[in-house]
């Protein structure tokens, strides 16, 4: 893909020459007003929608004012407590410090001042002119893209909550700076040319087609900031071979080419081996495993008689040394390859092109063996009160709760239980008129006979539109601290209107929802009975639907009867499964307590990062890169009735024995450690330069369960599952769920 920027640069230069957001504040003392001006040099920018605000040392807003279309703004009075001023519109936020000498030196708010403030905030004592320029250019690019978006540029703020957050993360983390620079190279080149007109010609045309296959590195192993510059105009020593399609056919690992071919000239076979090994003493580009390339590695640099990376790895045509293996004993021998035709030739001297290969760590494994147990002794242990059960196997720092019966259902003080609200909520929950096409209701994705889910991989909304996640069962949501797979809301009242407003689900606005309730003659009496007022309201809708959902709780399962003293409620296989659940299978790390969930958010390795099924999960709400690919740990109560499993429904069964004696399903996947350490297929490759690359939770590890043990674990999960009820629970049942 080629990025030809000369035309856009000329156009942008006229508009943005010397881009700066200048806020000139005066008179911070006494009651004098604070005046300011936001401006972009060389253009009549429309600043409609921008605001300016003053912040104190704690980041609290002291004043806010509208920025006029011409960029002028004025605060009503001075604020002695102000330490920063911010100009903002949506996610674009630029800042500067408010100094005591503001009357003598007008304050400027720009990409440069924002970068300086971020560096002072998180990189105390480590700021350099180069670092300041890099962060400032990224901020400048954000503003530039807002005004001149190009179709082929990734959104500059795609992975950050706002530009101030981005500035602080870039200032604090070299990995974030490198990742940002490589991900947004074309936009940053365009921005740098505008900020430094002397570079405009040099940066005017940037061909970045090779960036996806080869990244040039400095001697210390860090990628060059500007990958588009000609090889002879940049200080690079190595090239990281990141061509993913090629690597997928090779042993997994990092391959680095050393730039020594032109300097070494033609050398003999023995000199080639010696000189390649000599690079190890200096740890060139941070590597100490230099060697001559294998034949297939060298030949991969050519395609149809041409060099594949003539700009990133400029090499002379000629003969090169390579290593080949014999068919008999796999002993390496030296061969000469004529490049770029990639044909084998006979020669006594050839050029040198050393390669470093650092293999990926092998995926963790654990032998699958049956751990012998005495079922009689085990039953004696587990028929005691749960406080006397064997200690669970959990990782250090894990806060767990013992398994047990459901407690009484909690109702919030501002939305107490009433039968009338349950009746209203049930009517609303099953009403398909409350969707854009009048064709789906809440109950369309939460079917009573299907564990209050829909048993589809992904759910369908109005007009048959498919979502991207499986509908979670609404059973036991009364106990949840957060809702949806990504935890975007924290109360059932908040949750109730999200599916209504979602364009892929029911696709109504709140105004349309209210109008449809008002038009339906059934709802006047129901609202009157619930709230004393027959006029439907959005607040009444939220509280009624939430109240109804709180009445949908699990029936007691075999496990509940066992905990209450029925020692025969679990058979031997289920009892064995209970013990495995709490010990060898390590389930208590995430699935503890009465609901069999700790309600945390964890990455189990199904992010599909960079692929068609990509889902960034909790990150989309928190913008915390530690939570990229993390989803809410689902409760395992009634799990036997809520297939398929995981946020995207990719596993149709828990576990099933095959004719060959193996076991398939989601339990065997957890037993294998999911995709932990398998970067060849999770998601496609290991990223060295992406700070947002999802990391699988450390609790996901191979378990070493035998087929017998996996089936016992599955039997226990059947024992914590009771056939779902299709009706709301009564108040006595809600007060004592285990006594049903």
Please tell me the least confidently modeled range out of 24-38, 450-464, 490-504, 586-600. Answer: 24-38
Domain 419-550 indexed as CATH 1.10.760.10:
yes
Residue 329 has pLDDT above 80, yes or no: no
pLDDT the model gives residue 566: 95
Residue 304 has pLDDT above 70, yes or no: yes
Residue 705 has pLDDT above 90, yes or no: yes
Distance between CA 439 and CA 396 in Å, rounded? 50
Band (pLDDT 50/70/90 cuts) for residue 28 is very low
Distance between CA 689 and CA 215 in Å, rounded? 10
Task: Quickly name the fold that domain 239-359 has.
Answer: Mannose-Binding Protein A; Chain A (3.10.100)
Burial class of residue 539 in the structure, from the number of CB atoms within 10 Å of its CB (0-12 exposed, 13-18 middle, 19+ buried): exposed
Residue 435 has pLDDT above 80, yes or no: yes
The fraction of the chain above a pLDDT of 90, given in percent, is: 62
Residue 33 has pLDDT above 70, yes or no: no
Task: Quickly name the fold that domain 21-109 has.
Answer: Immunoglobulin-like (2.60.40)
Contacting residues for 692 by C-beta, under 8 A, at least 6 apart? 159, 179, 619, 625, 628
Please tell me the least confidently modeled range out of 347-361, 362-376, 684-698. Answer: 684-698
376 neighbors 576 (Cβ within 8 angstroms): no
User: Cβ–Cβ contacts within 10 Å for residue 427, how many?
Assistant: 16
What's the token pair of residue 638?
A: 């009634």
Residue 488 has pLDDT above 90, yes or no: yes
Average pLDDT on 536-560 reads: 97
373-411: pLDDT as tens digits = 999 999 999 999 999 999 999 999 999 999 999 999 999
- Using DSSP, state whether 8 is helix, strand or coil: helix
Band (pLDDT 50/70/90 cuts) for residue 205 is low
112-145: pLDDT as tens digits = 989 999 999 887 667 789 999 999 999 999 988 8
Distance between CA 432 and CA 398 in Å, rounded? 43
pLDDT the model gives residue 5: 40
Distance between CA 537 and CA 523 in Å, rounded? 10
pLDDT the model gives residue 269: 92
pLDDT the model gives residue 590: 97
Residue 647 has pLDDT above 90, yes or no: yes
437 neighbors 429 (Cβ within 8 angstroms): no
pLDDT the model gives residue 77: 64
Average pLDDT on 287-298 reads: 93
Residue 44 has pLDDT above 80, yes or no: no
Please tell me the least confidently modeled range out of 62-71, 509-518, 558-567, 640-649. Answer: 62-71
**371-395+555-724+730-734: same fold as 239-359?**
no
Residue 644 preceded by cis peptide, ω within 30 = yes
pLDDT the model gives residue 483: 95
Nearest partner of 264 among 321, 215, 187, 212, judged by Cα: 321
354 neighbors 290 (Cβ within 8 angstroms): yes
Distance between CA 549 and CA 543 in Å, rounded? 10
154 neighbors 690 (Cβ within 8 angstroms): no
Residue boundaries of the structural domains of the chain:
21-109, 239-359, 371-395+555-724+730-734, 419-550
pLDDT the model gives residue 7: 39
pTM of the model: 0.87
94-119: pLDDT as tens digits = 998 886 544 444 677 889 989 999 99
Band (pLDDT 50/70/90 cuts) for residue 686 is low
161 neighbors 623 (Cβ within 8 angstroms): yes
pLDDT the model gives residue 467: 86
pLDDT the model gives residue 9: 40
pLDDT the model gives residue 201: 74
Element (H, E) at 200: helix 200-203
The correct CATH number of 371-395+555-724+730-734 out of 1.10.599.10, 1.10.760.10, 2.40.50.100, 3.40.50.2300 is: 1.10.760.10
Q: In whole numbers, what is the pLDDT of the chain averaged over residues?
A: 87
230-238 contacts at long range (C-beta below 8 A, 24 or more positions apart):
230/311, 231/311, 231/312, 231/314, 237/284, 237/285, 238/284, 238/285, 238/287, 238/356
Residue 16 has pLDDT above 70, yes or no: no
pLDDT the model gives residue 101: 46
212-268: pLDDT as tens digits = 899 999 999 999 999 988 888 888 999 999 887 666 678 888 899 998 765 678 999
Question: Which segments of 431-509 does DSSP mark as H helices, in order?
Answer: 442-445, 492-495, 498-501
152-175: pLDDT as tens digits = 667 888 889 999 999 999 999 999
Residue 31 has pLDDT above 80, yes or no: no
Burial class of residue 124 in the structure, from the number of CB atoms within 10 Å of its CB (0-12 exposed, 13-18 middle, 19+ buried): exposed
Residue with tokens 């190595």: 238
Distance between CA 260 and CA 310 in Å, rounded? 15
């Amino acid at each position: 893909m080629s990025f030809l920027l000369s035309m856009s640069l000329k156009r942008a230069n006229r508009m943005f020459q010397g881009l700066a957001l200048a806020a000139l504040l005066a008179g911070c003392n006494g009651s004098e007003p604070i005046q300011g001006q936001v401006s972009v040099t060389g253009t009549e920018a429309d600043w409609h929608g921008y605001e300016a605000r003053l912040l104190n040392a704690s980041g609290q807003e002291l004043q806010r004012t509208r920025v006029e279309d011409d960029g002028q703004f004025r605060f009503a009075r001075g604020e002695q407590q102000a330490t920063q001023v911010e100009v903002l519109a949506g996610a674009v936020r630029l800042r500067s410090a408010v100094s005591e000498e503001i009357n003598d030196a007008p304050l400027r708010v720009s990409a440069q001042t924002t970068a300086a403030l971020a560096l002072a905030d998180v990189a105390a004592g480590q700021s350099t002119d180069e670092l300041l320029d890099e962060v400032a250019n990224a901020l400048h690019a954000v503003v530039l893209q807002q005004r001149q978006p190009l179709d082929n540029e990734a959104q500059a703020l795609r992975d950050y909550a706002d530009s101030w957050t981005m500035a602080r993360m870039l200032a604090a983390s070299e990995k974030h700076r490198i990742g940002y620079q490589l991900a947004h190279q074309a936009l940053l080149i365009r921005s740098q040319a505008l900020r430094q007109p002397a570079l405009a010609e040099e940066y005017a045309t940037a061909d970045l087609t090779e960036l996806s296959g080869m990244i040039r590195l400095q001697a210390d192993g860090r990628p060059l900031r500007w990958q588009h510059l000609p090889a002879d105009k940049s200080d690079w020593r190595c090239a990281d071979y990141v061509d993913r399609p090629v690597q997928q056919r090779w042993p997994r690992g990092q391959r680095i080419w050393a730039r020594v071919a032109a300097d070494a000239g033609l050398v003999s076979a023995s000199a080639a081996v010696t000189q390649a090994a000599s690079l190890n003493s200096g740890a060139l580009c941070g590597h100490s495993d230099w060697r001559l390339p294998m034949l297939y590695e060298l030949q991969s640099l050519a395609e149809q008689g041409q060099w594949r990376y003539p700009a990133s790895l400029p090499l002379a045509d000629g003969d090169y040394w390579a290593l080949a293996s014999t068919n008999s004993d796999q002993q390496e021998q030296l061969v000469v390859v004529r490049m770029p035709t990639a044909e084998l030739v006979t020669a006594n001297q050839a050029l040198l092109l050393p390669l470093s290969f650092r293999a990926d760590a092998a995926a963790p494994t654990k032998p699958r063996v049956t751990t012998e147990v005495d079922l009689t002794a085990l039953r004696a242990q587990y028929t005691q009160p749960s406080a006397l059960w064997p200690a669970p196997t959990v990782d250090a720092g894990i806060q767990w709760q013992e398994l047990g019966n459901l407690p009484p259902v909690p109702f919030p003080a501002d939305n107490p239980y009433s039968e009338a609200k349950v009746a209203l909520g049930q009517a609303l929950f099953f009403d398909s008129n409350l969707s854009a096409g009048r064709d789906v209701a809440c109950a369309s994705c939460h079917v009573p006979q299907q564990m209050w889910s829909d048993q589809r991989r992904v759910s369908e909304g109005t007009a048959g539109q498919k979502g991207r996640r499986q509908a979670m069962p609404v059973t036991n949501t009364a106990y949840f601290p957060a809702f949806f797979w990504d935890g975007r809301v924290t109360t059932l009242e908040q949750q109730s209107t999200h599916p209504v407003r979602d364009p892929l689900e029911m696709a109504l606005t709140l105004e349309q929802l209210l109008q449809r309730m008002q038009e339906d003659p059934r709802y006047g009496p129901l609202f009157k009975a619930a709230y004393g007022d027959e006029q439907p309201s959005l607040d009444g809708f939220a509280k009624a639907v939430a109240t109804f959902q709180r009445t949908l709780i699990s029936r007691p399962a075999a496990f509940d009867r066992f905990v209450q003293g029925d020692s025969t409620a679990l058979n031997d296989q289920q009892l064995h499964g209970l013990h495995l659940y709490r010990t060898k299978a390590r389930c208590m790390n995430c699935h503890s307590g009465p609901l069999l969930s700790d309600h945390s958010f964890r990455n189990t390795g199904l992010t599909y990062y960079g692929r068609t099924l990509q889902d960034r999960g909790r990150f989309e709400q928190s913008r915390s890169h530690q939570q990229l690919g993390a989803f809410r740990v689902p409760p395992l109560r009634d799990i036997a009735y809520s297939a398929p499993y995981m946020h995207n429904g990719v596993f149709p069964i828990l576990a099933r024995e095959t004719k060959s004696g193996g076991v398939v399903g989601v339990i065997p996947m957890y037993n294998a450690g999911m995709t932990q350490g398998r970067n060849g297929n999770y998601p496609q490759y290991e990223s060295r330069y992406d700070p947002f690359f999802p990391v699988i939770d450390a609790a996901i590890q191979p378990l070493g369960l035998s087929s017998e043990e996996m089936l016992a674990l599955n039997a226990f999960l059947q024992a914590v599952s009771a056939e779902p009820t299709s009706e709301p629970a009564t108040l006595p049942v809600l007060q004592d769920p285990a006594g049903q």
